[in-house]
Amino acid sequence: MIVIDKLCYCSRLRYVNASEKFLYTAATLAICVAGRSFAAAAAAFAVNGILTVRKGGIPLSRYIRLLMMPLAFLIPGSAAVIVNVSKMPLDAFAFPVGDWYITGSRDSIREGALLWAVAFSAVSCLYFLSLNTTMTDILEVLRKLHVPALLIELMMLIYRFIFVLLETASAIEISQKSRLGDRNFRTKARAFGSLGSCLFIRAFRRANALYDAMESRCYDGTIRVLSGERPVKRKEICYIAVFEIILLAVTIGSRAI
């Protein structure tokens, strides 16, 4: 998560209007997931990759490593779809184990492959958004979509304080290590416990201090801030519209076959 945060601030697409990126992501994601078409998924995956790596300037190796992350879910997920245990062998493959077969059908292999395709295209959509859009910009879009202000304010504060608390935690950890807190399992466990409680108390104090600081700037219960939104570009909207129409056509076309 921290890596993604660092990358999105360096992305060359960072200053593209966030609503546009959000719209593109949402539409592409919807078509890929609802359409369940190989061709559309492949097209979306390719375009997202090009946009993120070529246009956005995210390093390819980083992007590939990030794409590997959902494998942990995908492999067992598709195995469950493809592999069956039954007394009757199915048409694609079958390994006898005693009286039983570990087996799978052609349909289920197709199903499993489609699962991979759709999952990767969906993940690439979300990476496109999160690698090229800062959290504050995404919150700005949510505000426009009339997500309740309370939720947005919470997200805003949580996002800011994740980093503050991480910093505090790592400082405490270093000071524990420098006093041999990680000497063996026992001391490690104790150090970790006190780190947790210490962090909790500090978070509490920080919350109080933050409230005081906000109050001294006339906080009245609603966080009002200016957005730093960039203008919408008509050209980009046209590109998005054209791409989504093509994607939709590909989906419908490939399903008709």
Partner 1 sequence: MSHTEDWVIEAENLSYSYEGNDRKALDGLSVRIGRGRKVAFMGGNGSGKSTFFLCLNGILRPDEGRVLVDGEPVSYTRKGLLDVRKRVGIVFQEPDNQLFSASVFQEISFGILNLGADEETARREVERVIRELYITPFKDRPAHALSGGQKKQVAIADILVMHPQVMILDEPASALDAVHTKKVHELVNRLTEQGITVLMSLHDIDYAWSWADEIVLMHEGKVIRQGTPREICEDENVLKKAGLERPAVLRIYEKLINKGMLSGSEIPGSMDELAEMLS
Provide the binding-site residues for partner 1, judged by CB under 8 A: 5-6, 9, 134-136, 156-157, 159-160, 163-164, 167, 206, 209-210, 212-220, 223-228
Instruction: Give the nearer residue to partner 1 in terms of CB position, either 5 or 182.
Output: 5
Cβ atoms within 10 Å of 208's Cβ, excluding its own: 9
Report, in Å, the least distance between residue 208 CB and partner 1: 9
Instruction: Give the nearer residue to partner 1 in terms of CB position, either 27 or 157.
Output: 157
From its phi and psi, is residue 157 left (phi > 0), alpha (psi between -120 and 50) or beta? alpha
Instruction: Give the nearer residue to partner 1 in terms of CB position, either 36 or 202.
Output: 202
The rounded distance, in Å, linking the Cα atoms of 22 and 160 is 21
Report, in Å, the least distance between residue 148 CB and partner 1: 18
Instruction: Give the nearer residue to partner 1 in terms of CB position, either 34 or 147.
Output: 147
Report, in Å, the least distance between residue 242 CB and partner 1: 30
Report, in Å, the least distance between residue 239 CB and partner 1: 25
The rounded distance, in Å, linking the Cα atoms of 78 and 49 is 23
Token pair of 110, please?
């197709």
Report, in Å, the least distance between residue 129 CB and partner 1: 17
- Cβ within 8 Å of residue 109, ≥6 positions away: 82, 92
Which residue in 117, 113, 110 sits closest to 31, CA to CA?
Answer: 117
Instruction: Give the nearer residue to partner 1 in terms of CB position, either 93 or 159.
Output: 159
Distances in Å between the Cα of 79 and the Cα atoms of 83, 98, 109, 219 are: 6, 21, 9, 54
Instruction: Give the nearer residue to partner 1 in terms of CB position, either 149 or 252.
Output: 149
Distances in Å between the Cα of 17 and the Cα atoms of 103, 144, 188, 224, 252 are: 50, 13, 47, 21, 30
Report, in Å, the least distance between residue 233 CB and partner 1: 19
Instruction: Give the nearer residue to partner 1 in terms of CB position, either 18 or 82.
Output: 18
Which residue in 34, 27, 69, 72 sits closest to 48, CA to CA?
Answer: 27
Report, in Å, the least distance between residue 4 CB and partner 1: 12
The rounded distance, in Å, linking the Cα atoms of 138 and 23 is 11
CB 13 within 8 A of CB 137: no
